[in-house]
């Protein structure tokens, strides 16, 4: 029952967010509320909502769980402030295996650049899967467009 309730809740939440943003654009034409008027914290909150839905839709559409995008809390070295990271499962697995190999003296610790190079094929598959879904799903394209617009607005500040 809980799973059914959450399955129904996510699409409703996404529709309300999209409707809210569409209404903001409509009101912008009337001179009322515009995305540019949102505070940085409101922008970050909207970005988080859209990101969550974007990754949920993507993860539901793929068959290869290795390509799934996983979000988790992380505290960077030298900081006490936790932040959320969203990474593909194949990157998380490779990094964990590399750290274990390094601990046992079987391998050297890879830099983030070395990890990207080693996983170039997987990143290409991830890009292809996202492109395919974008071509097939108008909803996913809309989420992507809204996410890009919100991020662009936040970066311009």
pLDDT tens, 3-26? 433 443 444 444 444 445 554 554
Q: How far apart are CA 21 and CA 19, in angstroms?
A: 5
pLDDT for 22? 52
Burial 59-72 (b: 16+ CB within 10 A, else e): eeebeeeebbbeee
pLDDT for 20? 53
Angle at 93 between CA 91 and CA 95, to 5 degrees: 65
Radius of gyration of the chain, Cα coordinates, nearest whole angstrom? 19
pLDDT tens, 109-145? 999 999 999 999 999 999 999 999 999 999 999 999 9
- Answering whether pTM is above 0.75, one says no
Beta bridge partners of 85: 72
Q: How far apart are CA 123 and CA 1, in angstroms?
A: 36
The domain limits of the chain are 2-155
pLDDT tens, 46-68? 999 999 999 999 999 999 999 99
């Amino acid at each position: 029952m809980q799973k059914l309730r959450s399955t129904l809740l996510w699409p409703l939440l996404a529709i309300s967010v999209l409707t809210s943003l569409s209404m903001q654009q409509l009101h912008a034409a009337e001179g009322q509320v515009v995305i540019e008027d949102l505070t940085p914290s409101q922008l970050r909150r909207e970005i988080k909502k859209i990101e969550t839905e974007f990754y949920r839709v993507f993860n539901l559409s793929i068959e290869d769980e290795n390509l799934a995008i996983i979000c988790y809390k992380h505290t960077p070295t030298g900081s006490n402030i936790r932040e959320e990271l969203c990474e593909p499962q194949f990157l998380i697995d490779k990094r964990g295996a590399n750290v274990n190999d390094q601990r046992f003296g079987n391998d050297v610790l890879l830099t983030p650049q070395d990890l990207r190079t080693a996983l170039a094929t997987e990143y290409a598959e991830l890009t292809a899967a996202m492109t395919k879904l974008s071509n097939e799903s108008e909803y996913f394209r809309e989420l992507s467009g809204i996410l890009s617009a919100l991020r662009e607005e936040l970066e311009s500040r």
